[in-house]
Structure formats: C-alpha cells, structure tokens
Amino acid sequence: MNQKNVQIPMDVFNLLIQFMEYWEIYKLDRATQDEYHYVYSVLHKKLDTLKLRESYANIIFAEDEDKRFDARMNYLQHKRIIKQIYE
C-alpha cells in the first residue's frame, strides 16, 4: 500500500494527544488496546520529532552567540533524551 502523510494544525495535533490520554483503554479488548498503544506511541514520537526540529531551528535563528550556545545545549539535551526513549 502506498503510504501518504497528512497535515493537521499543531493545536489539533496536541489536542488529539491530550484527548487520547483520557481514554479508559483498560475497558477495551486486548487488540484494541494494542492498536491504541501503537497509535499513541507514533503520535508521541512525531511530537518529539517536531520539538527537536524546533530546538534545532532555535540554534539557527539565535540572535547572538550566547543564545546560540544555550539553544545548542538545549537541542543536544533534548536529542539525548529522545534517543534514550526510542532506542
């Protein structure tokens, strides 16, 4: 199957993740719980990727060297955390 991507507004994306956190999935059958966990993890990974991209952009658009250094440290810390989560 040809996989395609979609674009949705960031506020809707965040709302979707928040909405999923309130679902009482323990009441659902095992297959549905597995699907929920898969979708939730994919959405969270995408959110982390977007945040990492934003951190990198902060390096590029920093106003001066001090802010660039701080942005770089923030980016590297964020990258290390994401690497630990998804490996």
Does residue 1 fall inside a structural domain?
Answer: no
Going by the DSSP 8-state scheme, the letter that residue 8 receives in this structure is -
Does residue 26 fall inside a structural domain?
Answer: yes
Q: What is the DSSP string of 32-71?
A: HHHHHHHHHHHHHHHHHHHHHHHHHHHHHT-SSHHHHHHH
For 13-68, write each residue's pLDDT tens digit.
999 999 999 999 999 999 999 999 999 999 999 999 999 999 999 999 999 999 99
Does residue 73 fall inside a structural domain?
Answer: yes
pTM (global) more than 0.85: no
Residue 1 pLDDT greater than 90, yes or no: no
Work out how many domains the chain is built from and give that number.
Answer: 1
Going by the DSSP 8-state scheme, the letter that residue 25 receives in this structure is G
**Which residues have a Cβ under 8 Å from the Cβ of 24 and sit 6 or more positions away?**
none
Going by the DSSP 8-state scheme, the letter that residue 21 receives in this structure is T
Does residue 4 fall inside a structural domain?
Answer: no
Which residue segment(s) compose the domain that 67 sits in?
10-86
